[in-house]
Amino acid sequence: MTNANAYAAFERSFAVNAARPALEIDLNHSCTYAQLHRETARCAAALNSFGLQRGDRVAVQVEKSPQSLFLYLACLRAGFVFLPLNTAYQLAELAYFLTDALPALVVCTPAAEGGVRQVVRTSNSSARVATLDGSGGGSLAEVVREASARFKTEMMAPDELAVIIYTSGTTGRSKGAMLTHHNLISNASTLVESWGFNNRDVLLHALPIFHVHGLFVANHCALLSGAKLIWRPRFDAGATLADLRQATVMMGVPTYYTRLLAEPDLTPEACANMRLFISGSAPLSLDSFREFRVRTGHTILERYGMSEAGMITSNPLEGERRGGTVGLPLPGVSVRVAGHQEQPMPPGEPGAIQIQGDNVFAGYWRNPSKTREEFTADGWFRTGDMGVFDRDGYLSIVGRAKDLIITGGYNVYPKEVELVIDTMPGVVESAVVGVPHPDFGEAVTAAVVLDGGAEAPSESAVIAHLKSQLANYKVPKRIHFVSNLPRNTMGKVQKNLLREQLAGRPAQNNSESPA
Ligand code: AMP
């Protein structure tokens, strides 16, 4: 029987690439795949010494470091369920995850240890607590140091749980998406194939590793193909420019690209060694897409995915990468855009994005009713995103279903309005939301960030421009100029926060009767 443990697939690649570099940490520190494999063995043995049982959850809220990667891989290897937590979560939020996931071990930073122990006590949890700091020290590191470097990777079935990843929870309570070993490895193999990864690649990794993008997409592509990871604790535009000189692939959220564009040294020469720039987790603006091509000669490849399903669609490696779209369904992933009765919508007509495939998760942790709700009767997962296919099968995201605005009985897709505002001179970006309105139910409302230059439009100029481009019911009743949009760590605009912020503000003068 073959071992379906995701680590077993990585291990086969490590055997071939044992002497090749796995991680470059800084000028003086790097490790080969053979060393990485030994470190994960030590870490897995250390976890066993805490008395964990197969299937136990290990909640991890630590800074990004090589050891944090070893810890993730050790959990896979030993059959424990890895539960990454955003480093921004406060103790009160942690209490929710601990009572919901009931981990057997919590690994936190030494600075957070006192608070975490307190939370563990008050939430009646029997979890053990260990620490890991950003430079690889802490109580867990001490146990790892003493542990054996021999460890036999656990045999796992394809549908056994590998990771629980809590959704960002921008609306309502965050839910634990359960991902199996097969979910992870099937998606990783597809990406390696689709994006042409091989062991001569050098992947610049400046993403956080508590989220699918940095934890799965970037790590798995490198580990499975034997590529080298340039391992950076966080993104810094200046440092990235220097790193690009030896990297071949970069993965980033759109904010990384806009920050790189603000650097005068972003030139074709700076990117001469690169073969591929990939963007995802939030929409890349057409402006950034185009400007990046002009400045560097590279066309950013945009892809789309989510915690519950890994990667879903991607622009092609070979062939046209179409700006403003998230590309085509990945091999093995079926995507449909469905109307109210779940009927497939024709190209050009927006609807709900639903998916099927080996990448789709096993359900929400301890929440079967929510799981049932999110699957259609014929077995498709409702992503919660709204999208539209063009005639060539490229998908564009038009917003989250819950962000759809219904104003006076008409549906307004925020993205359509944002795209028009964003093309105006002097506008950096915009976000359109619906706020409660006594007549319309919801009033279309825009938050606009200006560049502060001479071309910056007035409120009436934005409204007049929109009226010339869009049906009147889509034109915002209010335009608010803001200095920036509220975003989470992955660069996603937090529309729920924006709605709250804009709801109480005084209106401007574009009132029409509802439909
Ligand atoms: P998360 O589960 O935190 O990874 O968030 C997943 C959500 O991010 C998706 O459901 C989309 O709403 C959004 N998303 C991811 N990639 C893209 C993209 N390329 N363009 C637009 N939205 C995206």
Question: What's the pLDDT at 304?
Answer: 98
Q: Which of 19-23, 103-107, 408-412 has the weakest average pLDDT?
A: 408-412
Query: Rounded to whole angstroms, how far apart are CA atoms 498 and 437?
Result: 16
Q: 323 C-alpha to center of ligand 1: Å?
A: 16
Ligand 1 center to residue 35 CA distance, Å?
A: 34
What pLDDT is recorded for position 28? Answer: 82
The Cα 323–Cα 284 span in angstroms is 8
Which value, to the nearest 10 degrees, does the dihedral of the CA atoms of residues 433, 434, 436, 441 take? Answer: 180
pLDDT at position 515 is 33
**Ligand 1 in contact with 361 (CB < 6 A)?**
no
For residues 337 and 353, the answer to whether their CB atoms sit within 8 Å is: yes
Residue range 294-317, pLDDT digits in tens: 999 999 999 999 999 999 999 999
**Angle CA(107)–CA(144)–CA(11) in degrees, nearest 5?**
95
**383 Cβ contact partners less than 8 Å away, ≥ 6 residues apart:** 306, 308, 309, 312, 352, 353, 354, 355
What value does the mean pLDDT take over residues 333-355?
A: 96
Asked whether residue 506 carries a pLDDT value surpassing 70, the answer given is: no
* Dist CA 62 CA 481 (whole Å): 37
Quick one: which atom of ligand 1 is closest to the CA of 167? Answer: 2
Which atom in ligand 1 lies closest to the alpha carbon of residue 397? 21
Of 120-124, 174-178, 226-230, which range is least confident?
A: 120-124
pLDDT at position 409? 77
Out of 300, 304, 325, give the residue to mutate to test ligand 1, the one with the largest number of ligand atoms within 8 Å of its CB. Answer: 304
Residue 99 CA, ligand 1 centroid: distance in Å: 27
Confidence band of 199 (pLDDT split at 50, 70, 90): very high
Instruction: Identify the residue whose C-alpha is closest to ligand 1 atom 3.
Output: 168
> What is the percentage of the chain residues whose pLDDT exceeds 90?
83
Q: Give the model's confidence band at 503: pLDDT under 50 very low, under 70 low, under 90 confident, else very high.
A: confident
For residue 431, CA distances in Å to 78, 484, 491 come to 44, 10, 13
Is 473:506 a contact under the CB 8 Å cutoff?
no
pTM of the model: 0.89
For residue 176, pLDDT beyond 60? yes
Q: What is the mean pLDDT of the chain?
A: 93
| Residues whose CB is less than 8 angstroms from the CB of residue 507 and which lie 6 or more positions away in sequence, other chains included | 443, 477, 478
Judge whether 413 and 397 are in contact, CB under 8 Å.
Answer: no
Environment class of 145 (CB within 10 Å of its CB; exposed 0-12, middle 13-18, buried 19+): exposed
Q: What is the mean pLDDT of residues 367-394?
A: 96
Closest residue CA from atom 1 of ligand 1:
306
**Predicted local confidence at residue 5, as pLDDT:** 98
Distance CA 198, CA 230 (A): 15
Residue 327 and residue 321: Cα distance in Å, rounded? 7
Does the pLDDT at position 275 exceed 50?
yes
Q: Exposed, middle or buried, 269 (CB in 10 Å: 0-12/13-18/19+)?
A: exposed
Query: How many angstroms separate the CA atoms of 117 and 226, rounded?
Result: 39
pLDDT reported for residue 168: 67
CA 310 to ligand 1 centroid distance, Å:
10
Report DSSP letters for 77-118, one per residue: HHTPEEEE--TT--HHHHHHHHHHH--SEEEE-GGGHHHHHH
Of 21-25, 193-197, 282-286, 297-301, which gets the smallest average pLDDT?
A: 282-286
* pLDDT higher than threshold 70 for residue 507: no
Task: Locate the ligand 1 atom nearest the alpha carbon of residue 303 and give its number.
Answer: 19
438 CB contacts (<8 Å, ≥6 apart)?
none
Give pLDDT, residue 26. Answer: 86
The pLDDT, as a whole number, for residue 245 is 97
Q: What does the pLDDT average to over 128-150?
A: 96
Q: Tell me if 302 CB under 6 Å of ligand 1.
A: yes
Give the pLDDT score at 508. Answer: 43
The answer, yes or no, to whether any atom of ligand 1 lies below 6 A from the CB of 307, is yes
Distinct helix (H) and strand (E) counts, the chain: 16, 24
CA distance 429 to 450: 7
Q: Residue 36 pLDDT more than 80? A: yes
Determine the pLDDT at residue 270: 98
